[in-house]
Structure 1
Amino acid sequence: MANTLPFERAVTEHGPRVLRVCRGILGTGADADDAWSETFLAALRAWPDLDPETHHEAWLVRVASRKCIDILRGRARRAIPIDVLPERDSPPTPNESIWAHVARLPEKQRLAIAHHYYGGLPHTETAELIGSTPAAVRRAASDGLAALRRSLNPEDFV
Structure 2
Amino acid sequence: MQRPFDDVVREHGATVLRVCRAVVGPHDADDAWAETFVAALRAWPALDEGANVEAWLVTIAHRKAIDSWRATRRRAVPVGELPQVAVGDGARDLDLWGALAQLPDRQRHAVALHHLGGLPYADVAEVMGGTAVAARRAAADGVSALRRSSARWAADEGGLS
* Superposition TM-score tier, normalisation by shorter sequence: 0.7 to 0.9
Which ranges of 4 or more aligned residues in structure 1 deviate by more than 6 Å?
none
TM-score by length of 2: 0.81
Residues 22, 64 of structure 1: 8 Å contact kept = yes
Q: For residue 5 of structure 1, give the secondary structure of its aligned residue in structure 2.
A: coil
Question: Percent identity between the aligned chains?
Answer: 52
Aligned counterpart, 1:73: 70
Higher relative contact order (Cα pairs below 8 Å, separated by 6+ residues) = 1
Q: What CA deviation, in whole Å up to 9, does each residue of 1:7-49 have, x standing for no partner?
A: 00100000000000101111111x2111100000111111122
Distance in 1 separating the partners of 2:64 and 2:131: 21
Aligned counterpart, 1:88: none
* Cα distance change on mapping 1:13 and 1:84 into 2, 3 Å: farther
Q: What are the ranges of 5 or more consecutive residues in structure 2 without an aligned counterpart?
A: 83-92
2:54 aligned to which of 35, 40, 57: 57
Distance in 1 separating the partners of 2:133 and 2:80: 44
Aligned counterpart, 2:11: 13
Aligned counterpart, 1:35: 32
Q: What CA deviation, in whole Å up to 9, does each residue of 1:37-66 have, x standing for no partner?
A: 000011111112211111111111111011
Residue 111 of structure 1 deviates from its aligned partner by 0.5
Residue 79 of structure 1 deviates from its aligned partner by 2.5
Distance in 2 separating the partners of 1:27 and 1:136: 24
**Size of the alignment, in residue pairs?**
146
Residues 22, 68 of structure 1: 8 Å contact kept = yes
Residue 136 of structure 1 deviates from its aligned partner by 2.1
State which drifts further: 11-20 or 96-105.
Answer: 96-105
1:24 equivalent in alignment to 2:1: no
1:109 equivalent in alignment to 2:107: yes
Q: What are the ranges of 5 or more consecutive residues in structure 1 without an aligned counterpart?
A: 86-93
TM-score by length of 1: 0.82
Q: What CA deviation, in whole Å up to 9, does each residue of 1:76-116 have, x standing for no partner?
A: 3332232348xxxxxxxx9x812221121111111010001
